[in-house]
Structure 1
Amino acid sequence: MRNRFFAHARGLAAAALVALAMLAAAAQRPLSAQELQPLVIVTDEGRHDFQVELAATPEERARGLMFRRSMPQDQGMLFDFQRVQPLAMWMRNTYISLDMLFIDADGTIVRIAQNTEPLSERTIPSGQPVLSVLELNGGVTSRLGIEPGDRVEHPLFAE
Structure 2
Amino acid sequence: MKVHGLAALALLIGASACTGRDAAATAGNEAARAPLTELTIASTNGRHVFRVEVADTVEKQQRGLMYRTDIPKDGGMLFAPYPPEGGGPREASFWMKNTPSPLDIIFIRADGTIARIAENTVPFSEAQVPSGEPVSAVLELNGGRAAELGIAEGDKVSWAK
TM range (shorter): 0.7 to 0.9
Shift of 1:22: 2.7
What residue is the counterpart of 1:26 in the other structure? 28
- Paired amino acid for 1:54: V
Structure 1: tracts of 5 or more residues without a match: 1-16
More strand by percentage:
1
1:29-51 deviation line (CA, Å, top 9, x unaligned):
6968xx21100000010000000
Shift of 1:106: 1.4
Shift of 1:21: 4.6
Please provide the CA RMSD for this pair.
2.5
Aligned length: 141
Partner-residue secondary structure (3-state), 1:85: coil
d(CA) in 1 for partners of 2:101, 2:79: 17
What residue is the counterpart of 1:89 in the other structure? 94
Contact 2:108 2:139 in 1 (8 A): yes
Structure 2: tracts of 5 or more residues without a match: 1-18
Shift of 1:140: 0.4
Contact 2:37 2:54 in 1 (8 A): yes
1:78-110 deviation line (CA, Å, top 9, x unaligned):
002143001100000000000000001111000
What residue is the counterpart of 2:8 in the other structure? none
Shift of 1:19: 7.1
Length-normalised TM-score, structure 1: 0.80
1:89-145 deviation line (CA, Å, top 9, x unaligned):
000000000000000111100000000000000000000000111000000000000
d(CA) in 2 for partners of 1:44, 1:110: 16
What residue is the counterpart of 1:118 in the other structure? 123
After TM superposition, list the pairs within 5 Å mapping 1:28-43 onto structure 2. 28=30, 35-43=35-43
What residue is the counterpart of 1:129 in the other structure? 134
Q: Which runs of 4+ in 1 moved over 2 A?
A: 17-24, 28-32
Partner-residue secondary structure (3-state), 2:70: coil
d(CA) in 2 for partners of 1:131, 1:37: 17
- Paired amino acid for 2:159: H
- Paired amino acid for 1:65: L
1:7-31 deviation line (CA, Å, top 9, x unaligned):
xxxxxxxxxx977753332225696
- The answer to whether structure 1 residue 150 and structure 2 residue 152 are counterparts is no
After TM superposition, list the pairs within 5 Å mapping 1:51-62 onto structure 2. 51-62=51-62
What residue is the counterpart of 2:68 in the other structure? 68
d(CA) in 2 for partners of 1:143, 1:110: 18
Length-normalised TM-score, structure 2: 0.79
What residue is the counterpart of 1:47 in the other structure? 47
